[in-house]
Structure 1
Amino acid sequence: MDGTVCLTIRPCTHDPAPVLPTVAEVLALPSVAAAAPRVLAGDPERTVVRWVHSSEVYEMGGLLSGGEFLLTTGLGLHGRSPRQLVDYTDRLADAGCVGLALELGRTFLEVPDELVRTAARRGLVLIELTAVAPFARMVENFHDLVVAARDPGHRPAEAVWQELLALVVTGQGLSAVLDAVARLAGCPVHVADPAGRVVAASRVPAPPDVPGECTGADVRGPQGLAGRLVLHGRPTRARVGVADRAAVAVALELGRAPAAAVRPSPAQSLVSDLVAGVRLSPAQVRTRLTEAGLPPAAGAEVLVLGVLVDRRTPPEDVVAAVHAAGDAALGRCLVAVGRRLVVVVARTRRGGARSAAQRLRAALDEGRAADAVLLVAAADPVVDDGGLGEALAQARSVVELAHRVGVRRPVVLAGDLAVHQLLAEAVPADRLAAFVDSRLRPVLDHDSAHGTELLRTLDAHLTHGLVKARTAAALGIRRQSLHARLDRLTTLLGAPVEDPAQLVGLAVALVGWQLRTGTDAQAGPVRTR
């Protein structure tokens, strides 16, 4: 044979795939158009929507699963500080929310600048609705739009196939094919080789439909199995239809340009195997680290850092920038993609994990990937190379937990959230809720009834080691104001905050409150009274 791929293409018996609507299509719905929408940030034409929600809950970011377009009157944002508005928008983007529409007139006369700037920075579509917005009707109209997309006559299967085939025939490349598949399926897409190692991924902004659920189709060429196409969304009949057609298009593209199926680097291969749960002995891990360019070093530990990037940015797109930052900050390091994280593996002196993580973050902030990086998480360093797999898992756990409790610090170490992890894993939810209530209820009730910031003050005072000057500076208030707040806390709690008998209990209760609410206590508005 001369290398030409020979395939027998059979008609697919699956239902044709629905195309998830874009924000532009949502804005064209009669009920939305009647509210006179105006785009303030983002790209409505390229952003796809999985569902439309309406909510006034400030903590809504922790309740989303990705792909939502959120409608709000801003009631939950009333009285919030500029920092809180930024945090609110960041939390939505972190959760994969693709768009936010704010109805003017009920809470705001104009969209706050903080929302506009943060939405533009995060690639979130931001819409202002200048007329009365019937949210219930908007949700119904969106549902009708999705149902219409499931109609076989809405987008014939042949049209899906012809679109993908045209990209192959015109030589647009594998990336363009995968981008089109991601848009058609409404979820991220990647191609893996027969060993399960990722070789290419989509770049179109599209959050996973349901994290952890995937739809797959084998990619077959003249020599048999060439790999697997993976769609990061639940396997509906429609999405399976897209996968079947796309697998043929990918096979044609790989046959047309075999160089597109490059093998992953040794570092990527090792990380992919460990993430997939492949059992490797310490000796095997050490050998593969050495082959990848990270041999053992006397007196050094293995440090794993997870770089979390904006969900609209495929991790594969920033690997080169992260590698450059890692080499500059840490010396020789390995960089690979582990699901949604860019993984950095380095050897560092003992006790230097925090310094190493901070140097990496500083280098990232100065590099090409600065706008995409959300967080750098560091696992506990391991002395034995055989612990690399557990360190990878811990780095991911730190990222997930930081998101859950609303932590927005640029660098988070496993030790920073050790108590959070212990409570989340070892204490039943009802027991934890009862404990938090028993310790903090008087403070929470007082803040709710009087609009005070005693919980935030308590958290800041413990965070800053009970040093009043540092606490006052962190809160932006005078020392006299801090003394007044601490006196009120003493009255409500029945003992001074500094009392050793209750100090540990209060600290644990604050951690439990974070786990329950998903909110950083320091994100509250700054008051000066």
Structure 2
Amino acid sequence: MLPTLREVLAMPSFKAAAVEVLTGDPDAAVVRWVHSSEVYEMGGLLAGGEVLLTTGLGLHGRSAEQLTAYVDQVADAGCVALAMEVGRSFLTAPPELVEASQRRGLAFLALHAVVPFERMVEDFHDLMLRRTVGLPRAGEPVWQELLGLVVAGQGMTTLLNKVARLAGCGVDLLDAEGRVVERSTATAERSETERTILDVRGPTGSLGRLVLSGRATARRSAVANCAAVAVALELGRHADLGPRQSLAQSVITDLVGGVLTSHGDLSERLTAAGWTPLEGQHVLVAAVDVDQRTPVRELADPVRKAVHAVLGPCLVGVTANHVVVLAQGWLAASPARVRATFTEANKLLRQGPGGTAVRTLGVAAPVEELSGISTAVGQAREVVQIARRFGTRTGVILARDVGVQRLLAAGTAPSALSAFIAEQLGAVITYDTQHSADLVRTLDAYLANRGSKARTAEFLGIRRQSLYARLTRLEKLLGVSLDDPAQLVGLGLALTAWRMRTGLDPQAAFERPPHDRG
């Protein structure tokens, strides 16, 4: 089992840092890894279950809205605790961070003494090793390889494939009744007569047996000892999933990891999991974003039932804070039909148990070939991640709805994107920052209202004359005419890129006094 935050805080390095828990329950938070970063846009780089260490360097000088957005980003990504070293970038913990962490159910830790973050990461790694009492010293390198897969959330099939390669023979995981739950797919010999069998033990007793199809050598026994513990840890990650669901979960995990891409392998695995797409029809792939305060596994069954009610039998698994679902489509899958179908499923899901924890439902472009499902899973998850960065909290979003954002994220180097934002918007952002002005907000509203001055003024709640003055200042700062369609396209792309990079809503990015600025 993975450790709780309470156990992590008991490590020597965290004790030496004089940790003060300002929000959250250390006994409820389960930690997958300890990570450090000063990057403001950290939300998109997390996989879930992290304790995030920071000195606050990347947060210094940020507005209250930006600090709140930062917490929302890391909480949405599945971070369980934010640990800030106080006394360097901030003399005390910023109240905006503490309040936002409290609201999102995120543990916020104030570190009052300086301890190298690298030591904390090393301590966590040692903690994971110490949790496996009784491993032979010769098996330690093997254990580190297997533990790395468990911590990274690579799934049971990937774990068994690694065991098979290390042991040089096929590997099966049996449940308590002796039924095969998972089987390694890596190329390896299988003996029909000789076996190396180990009991897989959990906190409440036997979870099943691990069977290595080969003669019991010293090397194979050492691998098997390590593997039995690693398998128990992996089973603990999905303790509420039965054998059939475990097969489905392993398919989803391998699709997310990009290790299941061939038509033949995927067809075989889908059939073994009890779901086979109809020949010649599209496969629909969606990802449901779940609020971090609710364990994502709790939504797996509600998602399955909601989608089944609309589209029939489907395959469901979880990853990070997403529920991924594969469903049967049709011969013709128009965007309107896909949107209407998943809107109905989303409505049923929200009405059911745990529905309040459902955020957005992202849908990939329909898939015609099985070999394209892995790419579609990544696309569906990308859709909800983009929606999260844009502050979208509810609704169904198709891949085409965020096509511009996906294109910018996939086809542009970060440095080039930053240069483009600076070229198009740098003068306006600087002006707003220095004067607490409303020009970025005004430009965003002007573009959203397709250049209609009347609708823009009404949206902003200001007089028409005030809007004209702002537009004139915008044109002066930018050196362009806002009547030029080509310039508006460039400015719209730049605003989209800026929002992707910062995670901020232009309508709330800069602090403003309440009166009309004219």
TM-score (norm 2): 0.64
CA RMSD of aligned residues (A): 5.4
Distance change >3 Å, CA 79–CA 430, structure 1 → 2: closer
Q: Give the letter aligned to residue 138 of structure 1.
A: V
Q: Please name the residue that 1:8 is paired with.
A: none
Number of the residue aligned with 1:486 = 471
Counterpart position of 2:64: 80
Matched to 1:444, the amino acid is: I
CA contact (8 A) 1:325 1:363 kept: yes
> After the TM superposition, which residues 487-502 of structure 1 pair with which residues of structure 2 at under 5 Å, given as runs?
487-502=472-487
Q: Is the 8 A contact 1:70 1:99 kept in 2?
A: no
Give the distance between the partners of 1:521 and 1:271, measured in 2 at CA: 36
Cα distance between partner residues in 2 of 1:312 and 1:182: 26
Match status 1:97 vs 2:79: yes
Provide the rounded CA distance (Å) in 1 between the counterparts of 2:289 and 2:73. 14
Aligned to 1:379: 364
| CA distance 1:443–1:227, change in 2 (3 Å) | farther
Deviation, structure 1 residue 97:
3.2
Aligned 8 A contact 1:301 1:383 in 2 = yes
Deviations 1:241-272 (A, max 9, x none): 99954625858999xxxx99724488667656
- Contact 1:302-1:383 within 8 A present in 2 as well: yes
Q: Which of 97, 119, 140 is equivalent to 2:101?
A: 119
Contact 2:196 2:212 in 1 (8 A): yes
- Which of residues 303, 309, 327 is equivalent to 2:290? 309
The answer as to whether partners of 2:432 and 2:440 remain within 8 angstroms in 1 is yes
Q: Give yes or no for the alignment of 1:160 onto 2:132.
A: yes
Paired residues, number: 440
1:334 to 304, 307, 314: 314
- For residue 320 of structure 1, report the CA deviation from its aligned partner: 0.4
d(CA) in 1 for partners of 2:248 and 2:122?
A: 44
Contact map agreement 2:254 2:260 (CA 8 A) in 1: yes
Quote the offset at 1:111 in angstroms.
Answer: 3.2
Post-superposition offset of 1:476: 5.9
Q: Distance in 2 between matches of 1:305 and 1:59?
A: 25
The 3 A distance-change label for structure 1 pair 52 and 281 is closer
The alpha carbon displacement at 1:483 in A equals 3.8
Match of residue 190 from structure 2: none
Determine helix, strand or coil for the equivalent of 2:79.
coil
Q: Which runs of 5+ in 2 are unaligned?
A: 136-145, 163-170, 175-194, 200-208, 214-221
Does residue 22 of the first structure (1) align with residue 8 of the second (2)? yes
Corresponding residue for residue 221 of structure 1: 197
Distance in 2, matches of 1:260 and 1:440, equals 50
For the residue of structure 2 that corresponds to 1:138, the secondary structure is coil
Any idea what the Cα deviations from partners look like across 1:139-188, whole Å, max 9, x if unmatched? 33x6556666778xx9996x73379xxxxxxxxxxxxxxxxx999x8665
Post-superposition offset of 1:374: 4.1
Q: Which residues of 2 match residues 62-461 of structure 1 at below 5 A?
A: 62=44, 66-70=50-54, 72=56, 76=60, 79-81=63-65, 84=66, 86-100=68-82, 111-112=95-96, 115-116=98-99, 118-120=100-102, 122-127=104-109, 134=112, 137-140=113-116, 160-161=132-133, 188=153, 190-192=155-157, 221=197, 226=211, 244-245=225-226, 247-248=228-229, 250=231, 262-264=243-245, 276-280=259-263, 292=275, 295=278, 302-309=283-290, 315-327=296-308, 330-337=310-317, 339-340=319-320, 341-344=322-325, 345-347=327-329, 350=334, 351-370=336-355, 372-382=357-367, 387-402=372-387, 406=390, 408-410=392-394, 411-461=396-446
Aligned mates of 1:38, 1:283 — CA distance in 2: 46
Q: Do 2:63 and 2:511's aligned partners in 1 also have CA atoms closer than 8 Å? A: no
Q: Judge conservation of contact 1:472–1:482 (CA < 8 Å) in 2.
A: yes
Deviation for aligned residue 1:475: 4.9
Letter of the 1:334 counterpart: C
Q: Percent identity?
A: 34
User: Aligned pair in 2 of structure 1 residues 277, 260: CA closer, same or farther (>3 Å)?
Assistant: closer
* CA distance 1:464–1:195, change in 2 (3 Å): farther
Please tell me whether the aligned partners of residues 303 and 382 of structure 1 are also in contact (alpha carbons under 8 angstroms): yes
Residue identity in the other structure for 1:342:
V
The 3 A distance-change label for structure 1 pair 156 and 337 is closer
Q: How far has the Cα of 1:91 moved from its partner?
A: 0.7
Q: Provide structure 1 residue ranges, at least 5 long, that are not aligned to the other structure.
A: 1-16, 164-180, 201-218, 229-240
One-letter amino acid of the structure 2 residue matched with residue 307 of structure 1 = V
Deviations 1:462-517 (A, max 9, x none): 23433445545655656554443323212222344342231222222223334554
Q: Verify the 8 A CA contact 1:23 1:99 in the aligned structure 2.
A: no
